[in-house]
Amino acid sequence: MAESFDALVIGGGAAGLMCAIAAGRRGKRVLVVEHANRVGKKILMSGGGRCNFTNTGATPANYLSANPHYCKSALARYTPADFIAMVERHRIAYHEKELGQLFCDDSSKQIVRMLLDECADAGVRIETSCAIERVRHGDATFHLDTARGSFTASALVVACGGLSIPSMGASGFGYELARQFGHSVLPTRAGLVPLTLSGKHQERLADLAGVALPVEARCNGSAFRNFMLVTHRGISGPAILQISSYWNPGDDLRLDLLPGDDAYAWLQTQRTERAATELRNVLAERIPKRFAQRLCEHWFSSKPMRQYRDAELREMAALLADWPLVASGTEGYRTAEVTLGGVDTDELSSSTMQSKRVPGLYFIGEVVDVTGWLGGYNFQWAWASGHACGNAL
């Protein structure tokens, strides 16, 4: 005999747990089915173990989607202030790191604990290590056959997340289910991910792995000013992770190595004020020394500043302000924080997250084609979409 619930939630991650809490609070009998041995694994590893659980400045402009309007309704109805209120109710200490990013002072375990306590209060049942064998639909009822028995409900919420970090339980199951029920899935790719370099950039930069510098990274009309980190295989750091979500193979990627400055005016000033100093030493005051030296070995020739003609300064300034880098690819899902693309929002209701094709079927969180920037935006989408769905079940 299958056990009956009001709603079955597949995936005990950020979105699934929030959805279950909202529905449970409204008296719904909810079962969360999680195939990993514990819920919230990505929450645990997020934010370097301190979970960047929201961003106080989150707006729809911080999300990528084929339909940029889709996320608006849910984000407006469950705001960062709503999640902060829950965090404060549970007396979890937190701080703002930069740019509205809120982190736990202590550990991301506190966020998982909070969600589990809220689930318990709301009467939500959670089954972990529960592999799903089959999902069926008939007579307006969803049937789940799992390693821990069979369950039925009139509502099924797909909250399986994306493909990033398979070792943490990520699977393509949400996309498979979407297709099983006739939904379109937009092409997926790794986002918020380090980029790999090849050819001369790789050869010239690889041994600088570990060097970090502020840059403005630009691609396809988007720009992010933050740190870049050189890695053994390419480049990473917040500026690169952000721009990686806007980059497709073959796209032009540019770096401003003197962000916020007029490179030509700066070089002219250096020529006037430090005429006898060599370029490599001048640059080393703005850019990490090893990186500056490498630029002078391969891209510029270093000589005392007074020896540069205006045209040479202009050429160098152009390169410093708009350095073209040819990325060969990304590090892929193994290290990506998110998956871009996913279940097409055109076939979902933006207020309830319900399928327009199959009544009672819902998609929330990362499995949907809504992807946030780095900095707490992805969890805010998970909370907001989970909350919208939980209140509609």
Ligand X SMILES: Cc1cc2nc3c(=O)[nH]c(=O)nc-3n(C[C@H](O)[C@H](O)[C@H](O)COP(=O)(O)OP(=O)(O)OC[C@H]3O[C@@H](n4cnc5c(N)ncnc54)[C@H](O)[C@@H]3O)c2cc1C
Residues near ligand X (CB under 6 A):
10-16, 33-36, 39, 41-42, 45-47, 51-52, 132, 159-161, 164-165, 169-171, 173, 337-338, 365-366, 376-379, 382
Grouping H, G, I as helix, E, B as strand and the rest as coil, residue 322 is coil
Both tokens of 8, joined, read 């079955």
Q: By the 8 A CB rule, do 142 and 135 touch?
A: yes
Residue nearest to ligand X according to CB distances in the complex: 13
User: What does the DSSP 8-state code read for residue 337?
Assistant: S
Q: What is the distance, to the nearest Å, from the Cα of residue 224 to the centroid of all Cα atoms in its chain?
A: 14
Q: d(Cα 205, Cα 10) in Å, to the nearest integer?
A: 44
Which amino acid is residue 392, in one-letter code?
A
The packing angle between helices 377-390 and 80-89, to 10°, is 90
- What residues contact 267, with CB distance under 8 A and at least 6 apart? 305, 308, 313, 316, 317, 320
Q: By the 8 A CB rule, do 135 and 152 touch?
A: no
Among 390, 387, 366, residue whose Cα is nearest residue 76: 387
CB nearer to ligand X: give 33 or 267. 33
What's the min distance (Å) between Cβ of 53 and ligand X? 7
CB nearer to ligand X: give 190 or 292. 190
- 188-194-200-204 Cα dihedral, nearest 10 degrees: 180
Largest distance between two CA atoms of the chain: 87
Cα–Cα–Cα angle for 103, 78, 7, rounded to 5 degrees? 105
CB nearer to ligand X: give 170 or 208. 170
CB nearer to ligand X: give 194 or 365. 365
In which residue are the tokens 């001048």 written?
282
